[in-house]
Each structure stands twice: as structure tokens, then as C-alpha cells.
Amino acid sequence: MDTEVLTRAERAVPASDDPLWWRSAVIYQVYVRSFADGNGDGTGDLAGVRARLGYLKDLGVDAIWFNPWYPSPMADGGYDVQDYRDIDPRFGTLEEAELLIQDALALGIRTIIDVVPNHISDQHPWFQAALAAGPGSPERERFWFHPGKGENGDEIPTHWVSSFQGETWTRTTNPDGTPGEWYLHMFTPEQPDLNWNHPDVRREHEDILRFWFDRGVAGVRIDSAALLIKDPDLPEVGEKQGPGQHPTEDRDELHDVYRAWRAIADSYPGTRVLVGEIWVPDIVRFTNYLRPDEMHTAFNFDFLARPWGAASFRESIEQTLAAHAPVGAPSTWVLSNHDVTRPVTRYGREDTAFAFLKKRFGVPTDPELGLHRARAAALLVAALPGSLYIYQGDELGLPEVEDLPRELIQDPMHYRSGGIDPGRDGCRVPLPWSGDAAPFGFSPGRARTWLPQPEAWRTLTVQAQAADPGSTLNLYRRLLHLRRQLPELGDGPLEWWDALPSGAASAPDVLAFRRGERFACLVNTGDASVPLPPDASVLLSSTPLDESGRLPGNAAAWLRMDAAASRSTDSTPRITTTEPPASRG
């Protein structure tokens, strides 16, 4: 680091720096393209984010995670990076990004950026050079170029299946027009996979980390973090058995990569964090990435994918906490992101679990039920130990947009499924900020947004919800402010509250736990109302209590227990709710 950037890196540490900030942080995910548009072209940008930082401050977040903001042909919404050290001109400039990082920090908000190490854009100079240099060249060694099988090399090298469905190899054409080698892409053909056994690849990414840490980012979210290393023997899936033997996923060699990254993060002032996007079903192998010299945290997708219900939530929470404890890492809690169906829509369906391969057009949903549950789930996850991720628009209770005109859908998941999977654009529609008609304040003027917003969003704008004490936005504001005030929340122990005083909620549909002596969270995942424990005051509820002071179905409450009675097993169902419910349905 030279002296000039060192100064900048030091400035990246907030005045009151807590080295453990990441263990309890509330992190808001900004999908730049759809957050706010500053220049009126219908696409979100950094100017739009800078103008709305006050909104995020008021909401009460500790950090922002930005989806990739680099120059990109957008074959996969920016996860096809052409230059890791610049900003896409549609979003702004590098200078603006630096100012944004500093502006946010001045409000006490840290910045986490997205790094994409598994693959790059086919327009990246490295891949273009590899294509031009031809078979056997050093330029091709940075990727997975391979001759095809069969006499003429026209058989695919392996039958590995893409996370976006379909094949993972594309054949190149030689300069003389003859068919050439094949190259590997675990996602689209526009996203060639890098060869992580090559020292250039490792060096380049370590340097990219330094580039952004020097500019004050507080952490990186690591895209497809468990996919980087491939088995060079190119076996088919299942040919080699046993943990760590999958040819493309969760290979043991990955841990060295992240140990090297951790050493870089730790060499900076303040705590710079590594957050993994890790889809690994075995929870112990998952938490292996969170050992003290590897990543700080990783997204907890197990919880996200669970169906609505006390038993399934409890099982996930217990397994998560038990697996994280031995490595000393906090869990994360994530209800959604830019890849998955919005909770309001998902929780209103017959089948409330999430799975990519299940996504279809036209699955019926009950949006009202979904909203009640999504609000309850917000209280639940905000009360659990660890850090919390909020995907933009969830604080407005936005539903998935399921009727986008097909010709406007851009997501490759839609196309690669042959049009069966609606894709992920339905959760990426530009946010509604104000006014009665599209673009709802997203863009200045009357710009046409890159994806159309539903007319019905006029009641869901920030402006409309700010004026309504019972809105989902005000629920989120209250819960995040309370979470900040209550020292029991965030990182720390959780105690299941199974011995609820009789007469209080102890049905199988109820999830109840305590944080500290006096805080309790009660989630009623059933349809019938349940009584609250005696001596409880309601700090916040996701739906108002009914006329008898009971917690309705599909609702959650944060409770303050009377000090004297906090350990009581008093069987009298006295309801001593002293505060009015803080929110309305």
C-alpha cells in the first residue's frame, strides 16, 4: 500500500470502531440496478444510492452489501465481470463509488461489495486473450479449456450440470473456422470459469481485494464461494465418492484460498470481513468455512429454504446454532435476496419452502397471508443470535412480481430453463419510492424503468408507508431500532422457552425463545390465536393482538417480561400487556 491509499484505508474505520461489529450487524442488500435512479435513465445507479443514504440511516442498518457494480455486459445481472477495478458506466464512476463509501461511513454505515471469483465475463481481457491465443497457450491455462471427447473432439468433456440448468461446456471456433476446444462455465457461456490452480488467478483476486479494502470497503461477499476449485481429472459427478470428492463443489483445497484472503483482510485497520455465498447441504462442511482463520460468516440458506412452521424453523435454528458454536462464528439470518422468491409471495403459497428447481409461473399465492407471515418472520430473524440480512424492498413488504411481460425478462435462468422457470427478475423490480404512478419516484421524471413496476405498488411506496403507522416499513424501522437498543439481541445466547406457563402459548405451532432474562420472542405459525404469557408486555407485534389480548395466527411478538415474573411458572394466564401493539396488520 502506498502512503496515499493507506490514509484512505485508515479513514475507512468509523470513529467508534467495534471490532466485532459484524457479529450482530444488520446488513441491507442493495441491488444497484433497482434501488434508485439518479440520472433518469430508468436504471438504478450510485447517484441514486447516495441520495437515499438518509433512508437507510433512518431504517437503522449497519452496513450495505452492494451486488456487483463493475463494468459488465450484464449477461447475468453483473455477475459477469469485465473489469473488477471499475464501476459500470450505467451505475457511475469509481470516484463516485469512493465518495459513496465515505458518505455512508460518515453516517455510520459500512460498505460490503460483491466479489465474483469463480468466473469472469467472456468480454474480460483475459478471456479474449485466451480465445485469440489458441490451444496450448499460457493464456488458456487461466481457464478450463479442454479438447472434446471422441474422435473429432465433438463430445462434451463432462456432463456436469449448470446451476442455471443445461450444459457447462461450450465449444470454441478456431481462427480458421474449424471447431476448437471446449471451455467450462458453471453458469452461462458468457461466464467462463477461472482455473484456481493457476497462480495468476490467485494473485489477481488477492490484488482485487486489496484494491477495494484500500478504498474503504469493510467487507466482501464472495459469490459462488464453494465452486472455485475443480477436480482436474474431470470425473463425472459421483465417479469419486466421499466428502470433498465432488468434481466442482466444496472441495477441500478451497480452504487455502480463503485462509489467504483472511490474512489480507486481517492486515487492514478495522475489521474487514469475508462473507461467503455457500450452498453446501452438509452443515458441518458449511461451517468449516467459518473456522477462525477463514471467512467471518456465510449466508444461512438452510433457514431461508425452510417451509413456514414452528417445527421446521426450530429444527433449522437448532442445527444452525449447534454447528456454528464449535467454530465460534455467528450465524446469519436471511429471508431473501436477489435470487429467491420474495417472502410475501413464498409464504402465501401452499408449498412455502424454497427451491430453485421448483420455480414455475402461475403458482397461486395468498398475498395477505404471505404478508402476515413475512412480517412475523422479520421479527423472528431479527431476534435470533447473529447478523441479519435484509434484501431491498422486503422492508416494504414487496411481493414477487409474477406477471412481467415475458419479452422483458432478462434473467438467464429463465431462458436456460426453456422458459419454464420464471427466473429471478420478479424480485429485482425497481423500488417504489413515492407518488401514484410508475416510476414511483425511482427515477426523476417519467423514465421507463428497466423492469416495469406494478400499478398496485402505489400503496407500497416509501412515501405512502412512512405515513402509515401500521405499515411494514414502520414495523421494520421499529424492530431495527429496538434491536439496536436491546443489548440481549444480536450475537449471544438463546434459550428455548419450552416451559411456557400453562395457559400461555405452548402449542406445537408456537416457537418461543428468550434472549437474556427479560426478552422473549413468540412466533405463532398456526392459524388460531394463542394467549401470551402472563406478565409479558408487548414491545412489538407483527399483527395487532386481538380483542382478548391474544396473539393472532401467523404473527410474532417481542415481549418484555416482568422482572419478578421472568422465571415464573405461574399458571394464571394474566395478560399484562401494558403497551398498545406497535403495529397494525
Residues of this chain that bind ligand NOJ (CB under 6 A): 76, 79, 116, 187, 223-224, 277, 338-339
Q: How far is the CB of 196 from ligand NOJ (least distance, A)?
A: 15
- The torsion defined by the Cα of 563, 567, 572 and 577, in degrees rounded to 10, comes to 40
Q: How far is the CB of 274 from ligand NOJ (least distance, A)?
A: 16
Q: How far is the CB of 298 from ligand NOJ (least distance, A)?
A: 13
The one catalytic residue among 223, 249, 394, 535: 223
Residue keyed to cell 459477469: 80
DSSP secondary structure letters along 4-33: HHHHHHHHTS-SS--TTGGGT-EEEEE-GG
* 379: Cβ contacts below 8 Å, ≥ 6 apart: 479, 521, 523, 540, 541, 542, 556, 557, 558
Q: How far is the CB of 383 from ligand NOJ (least distance, A)?
A: 26
Q: How far is the CB of 57 from ligand NOJ (least distance, A)?
A: 26
Q: How far is the CB of 223 from ligand NOJ (least distance, A)?
A: 5
Q: How many residues does the chain have?
A: 585
Answer for the pair 225, 257: CB distance below 8 angstroms, yes or no: no
Q: DSSP E strands: which ranges in 72-178?
A: 110-115, 145-146, 169-173
Q: Smaller CB distance to ligand NOJ: residue 427 or 464?
A: 427
Q: Smaller CB distance to ligand NOJ: residue 50 or 416?
A: 416
User: How many C-beta neighbours within 10 Å does residue 585 have?
Assistant: 17
Active site residue 37: no
Q: Smaller CB distance to ligand NOJ: residue 223 or 394?
A: 223
DSSP, collapsed to helix, strand or coil, labels residue 194 as strand
Q: Smaller CB distance to ligand NOJ: residue 116 or 575?
A: 116
Q: How far is the CB of 189 from ligand NOJ (least distance, A)?
A: 13
Residue 572 and residue 233: Cα distance in Å, rounded?
68
The one catalytic residue among 277, 411, 425, 509: 277
Answer for the pair 275, 289: CB distance below 8 angstroms, yes or no: no
Q: Smaller CB distance to ligand NOJ: residue 223 or 425?
A: 223
Q: Smaller CB distance to ligand NOJ: residue 37 or 223?
A: 223
Residue keyed to cell 461446456: 169
- List, in sequence order, every residue forming a beta bridge with 130; answer none if it has no partner: none
Residue 543 is given by DSSP the state: S
* 290: Cβ contacts below 8 Å, ≥ 6 apart: 276, 296, 297, 298, 324, 327, 329
Answer for the pair 399, 345: CB distance below 8 angstroms, yes or no: yes
Residue keyed to cell 401500521: 470
Q: Smaller CB distance to ligand NOJ: residue 214 or 277?
A: 277
72-77's contacts with Cβ under 8 Å and 24+ in sequence apart are: 72/121, 73/121, 73/123, 73/190, 74/410, 75/121, 75/122, 75/188, 75/190, 75/191, 75/412, 76/187, 76/188, 76/190, 76/191, 76/412, 77/33, 77/338, 77/410, 77/411, 77/424, 77/428
Q: Smaller CB distance to ligand NOJ: residue 105 or 335?
A: 335
- List, in sequence order, every residue forming a beta bridge with 524; answer none if it has no partner: 510, 555
Answer for the pair 527, 553: CB distance below 8 angstroms, yes or no: yes
Residue 199 and residue 187: Cα distance in Å, rounded?
23
Q: Dihedrals φ, ψ of 378, to 5°?
A: -65, -40
Active site residue 223: yes
- List, in sequence order, every residue forming a beta bridge with 200; answer none if it has no partner: none
Q: How far is the CB of 165 from ligand NOJ (least distance, A)?
A: 12
Q: Smaller CB distance to ligand NOJ: residue 162 or 541?
A: 162
Q: Which residue is nearest to ligand NOJ (CB)?
A: 79
Q: How far is the CB of 279 from ligand NOJ (least distance, A)?
A: 9
Q: Smaller CB distance to ligand NOJ: residue 80 or 96?
A: 80
Residue 218 and residue 214: Cα distance in Å, rounded?
10
Q: How far is the CB of 66 from ligand NOJ (least distance, A)?
A: 12
List the catalytic residues.
223, 277
